[in-house]
Structure 1
């Protein structure tokens, strides 16, 4: 990836909007993708409780921002 704001990061962020962790997977970051997916999908699955969906929503937003701001040469 070229860096923050690059076309690849925009595509990765859009992927993360539809499925959390997919943007990280597009960027080649398997562990981050798995962690974001498990936390977010698990929290959304527990929709009938109050706190897990809130945590999942925050993690989902974090996954989108993380995919958009990722820079491979840090």
Structure 2
């Protein structure tokens, strides 16, 4: 996963589509993976309050974009 747009980032972004935070986990970023997963699933679990569901959706999309645009600092 050398730079933005690499094949590894595409795979990580696809992982995030199915499970928020999984792409960050694939990239080795455990804390980011936990945060994205907890916020997204917590928001989805409270779907009946509407606002947490929107926050969960935003966190889900953000995790996909974060995995796709990740650049490891060297």
**TM-score of the superposed pair, with normalisation by structure 1:** 0.97
The 5 Å alignment of 1:21-32 reads 21-32=21-32
Unpaired stretches in structure 1, ≥5 consecutive residues = none
User: Per-residue displacement from partner, 1:30-70 (whole Å, max 9, x unpaired)?
Assistant: 00000000000000000111100000000100000000000
Unpaired stretches in structure 2, ≥5 consecutive residues = none
Residue 17 (structure 1) aligns with: 17
Runs of 4+ in 1 over 2 A off after TM superposition: none
Residue 43 (structure 1) aligns with: 43
CA distance in 2, matches of 1:60, 1:37: 8
Residue 57 (structure 2) aligns with: 57
**TM-score of the superposed pair, with normalisation by structure 2:** 0.97
CA-based RMSD of the aligned residues comes to 0.8
CA distance in 2, matches of 1:58, 1:47: 13
CA distance in 2, matches of 1:3, 1:24: 14
Q: How many residues align?
A: 74
